Amino acid sequence: MRNKFIGIFDSGFGGLNILRGILKELPEYDYVYLGDTARVPYGNRSKETIFEFTRQAMDFLFQNDCQLIILACNTASADALRKLQQEYLPENYPDKKILGVIIPTAEEAIFKTKNNKIGVLATEATVKSKAFEREITKLNPGIKIYQNACPLLVPIVESGEHETAIADIVLRKYLQSLLEKNIDTLILGCTHYEAMENKIKEIVGGKIEVISESEIIARKLKNYLARHSEMESKLSKKSKQIIYTTDLTDRFIRLGGEFLGREIAAEKISITKNNL
């Protein structure tokens, strides 16, 4: 019997932090991680391009025995998830599922806020999509959402510069306008930003709740599998993890290992249309 995996997709290696959280909560399952590092960042691209890149990744993961896929990439969740669920899955993989990260994160932020003022740091595409704003106000119309697009943060993290003085300066610039709004809850709306979580907490102070996604998504996935035995029963449980990337570099191995919390081995693959 072939393994049936849980897939994790991100535009780079940031989603390895999501995988790390999931492995702590659900270590028995088998996982395939795919990072599209050859085309990172997604956040400055058009909605059409984001959908096409994400669709190619879904094709690869489903063709490599994934039964359920987590879109760890917030940009993909914001700009591609709905169309993937409503059109792509029914036409191509009706017995499989794709889950995003924005709704679980929005739910957590609503639970945490006390003054109903939530800040969001995210990519340009995620902010433009208004996905966090839409999901939060759908659940609680009284909450005010303040968003800031941060086009420099993903390149800073992907280049390994997230602990430098430059990163500190850029973070303070992005956070200033949100702090001026008297927010009490801050969503880190991109998996890459968790690399700078400690620095962000230092800047915003102890009175602001910082919402990162790795623990949230792990809990939500555990709950999902408990509620959907028809999906859970299909998944193999050999504690196996496979990591793919579209551009294998020493930096991916080094920084990916930091995100996952251990040394990693990865295989370079192509997911472009001509190589499926």
Task: Indicate the number of domains in the chain.
Answer: 2
pTM of this prediction? 0.93
208 and 106 in a single domain? The answer is: yes
128 and 173 in a single domain? The answer is: yes
Question: What is the structure's pLDDT at 275?
Answer: 43
Question: What is the structure's pLDDT at 276?
Answer: 38
Which residues make beta-bridge pairs with 241? Answer: 31
93 and 191 in a single domain? The answer is: no
89 and 219 in a single domain? The answer is: yes
Q: Which of 204, 271, 275, 219 is nearest to 66 (CA)?
A: 271
266 close to 253: Cβ distance less than 8 angstroms: yes
201 and 223 in a single domain? The answer is: no
Question: What are the pLDDT tens digits along the chain (276 aa)?
Answer: 688 999 999 999 999 999 999 999 999 999 999 999 999 999 999 999 999 999 999 999 999 999 999 999 999 999 999 999 999 999 999 999 999 999 999 999 999 999 999 999 999 999 999 999 999 999 999 999 999 999 999 999 999 999 999 999 999 999 999 999 999 999 999 999 999 999 999 999 999 999 999 989 999 999 999 999 999 999 999 999 999 999 998 989 999 999 999 999 999 999 986 443
106 and 205 in a single domain? The answer is: yes
Indicate which residue of 71, 73, 102, 118 is catalytic.
Answer: 73
Q: Which domain holds residue 114?
A: 102-213
197 and 106 in a single domain? The answer is: yes
Annotated active-site residue 190? The verdict is yes
CA-CA distance, 33 to 229, in Å (whole number)? 23
95 and 221 in a single domain? The answer is: yes
59 and 119 in a single domain? The answer is: no
Last residue of a domain, one of 213, 232, 254: 213
DSSP code string of the chain = ----EEEEEESSSTTHHHHHHHHHH-TTS-EEEEE-TTS---TTS-HHHHHHHHHHHHHHHHHTTEEEEEE--HHHHHHTHHHIIIIIHHHH-TT-EEE-SHHHHHHHHHHH-SSSEEEEEE-HHHHHHTHHHHHHHHH-TT-EEEEEE-TTHHHHHHTT-TTSHHHHHHHHHHHHHHHTTT-SEEEEESGGGGGGHHHHHHHH-TTSEEE-HHHHHHHHHHHHHHH-HHHHTTS--S--EEEEESS--HHHHHHHHHHHTS----EE---SGGG-
Which residues make beta-bridge pairs with 54? Answer: none
229 and 174 in a single domain? The answer is: no
Residue 134: φ, ψ to 5°: -65, -45
CATH of the domain at 33: 3.40.50.1860
Rg of the chain over CA atoms, in angstroms?
18
Last residue of a domain, one of 192, 213, 234: 213
Question: What is the structure's pLDDT at 274?
Answer: 44
Question: What is the structure's pLDDT at 1?
Answer: 62
40 and 118 in a single domain? The answer is: no
Give the number of other Cβ atoms within 10 Å of residue 82's Cβ: 14
95 and 222 in a single domain? The answer is: yes
Indicate which residue of 99, 120, 143, 190 is catalytic.
Answer: 190
Last residue of a domain, one of 169, 187, 213: 213
